Amino acid sequence: MMSAVSGAFANLRISSRPRAQLSFKASVCPGSMLVLPRPGVARSALAFLVEAKQNSLRRERTSEKARLRNKGRTSEIKTRIKKVLTAVDAAQADLPKAESDLSELAALMSEAYRVIDKGVSKGVLHKNTAARRKARIARARQNLLISAGLYKAPESTPDVPEASLPSENDGISPSELTLVR
């Protein structure tokens, strides 16, 4: 019985000088050691393991809750996008006569945009991914309107406007101009 008790306290040491002990910070940042604040107070290595384990278990629980929340949001986003694209396909079969015939589609698109924007604000979607998905929905609607003859696609314009030559009012003569590459 006595040997069992002495064996349990074998890891504990009482010393008169402070000893370097591992801490949570030391496990995260190797090379940094924590010195105990009071001499004579011993801390076993098991206490450190329990602290780190408690922190990791708490982090696992919160991560799992966040994962389930994010999974629900992404599922809702995908569902809304599918509803819009299905409505566009159904409208392709029976082309609308006017834009007012697409009021249901407009409501579905608005709902999809709202859910996508909410996903960005909650950190579920990256803003560029959200922009790409919203553009996909808008492009599907625009293609529907073009095929119905309700929208005329704009003619392609050059990306870079033509450079204008300086006029006499600018105060610069054409000989003073230099090309910069």
- For residue 86, the domain's CATH number is 1.20.58.110
Q: List all residues 6 or more positions away from 22 whose beta carbon is below 8 Å from its beta carbon.
A: 33, 34, 45, 48
**Which of 79, 78, 90 minimizes the C-alpha distance to 144?**
90
Does 17 fall in a domain?
A: no
Q: What secondary structure letter does DSSP report for 102?
A: G
Q: Which residue has the higher pLDDT, 16 or 91?
A: 91
Residue 104: which domain range?
A: 68-148
| Number of residues written out for the chain | 181
Distance, CA of 82 to CA of 120 (rounded, Å): 19
Mean pLDDT of 144-151: 91
Q: Which residue has the higher pLDDT, 153 or 38?
A: 153
Does 165 fall in a domain?
A: no
**Res. 153 pLDDT band, cuts 50 70 90:** confident
Residue that is written with structure tokens 């996508």 in the block:
116
Q: Which residue has the higher pLDDT, 21 or 74?
A: 74
* Total structural domains within the chain: 1
Mean pLDDT of 167-178: 62
Give CB contacts under 8 A, 24+ apart, made by 125-132: 125/74, 125/77
Does 180 fall in a domain?
A: no
CB-based contact 81:136 (threshold 8 Å): yes
| Per-residue pLDDT, 54 | 84
Mean pLDDT of 83-98: 94
Does 115 fall in a domain?
A: yes
Q: What percent of the chain has pLDDT over 90?
A: 48
Average pLDDT of the chain, as a whole number? 78
| Per-residue pLDDT, 37 | 56
| Helix segments in the chain, DSSP class H | 2-8, 24-28, 45-93, 103-121, 127-148
Does 127 fall in a domain?
A: yes
Q: What percent of the chain has pLDDT over 70?
A: 58
Does 141 fall in a domain?
A: yes
Is the per-residue pLDDT at 172 higher than 70? no
Does 166 fall in a domain?
A: no
Does 11 fall in a domain?
A: no
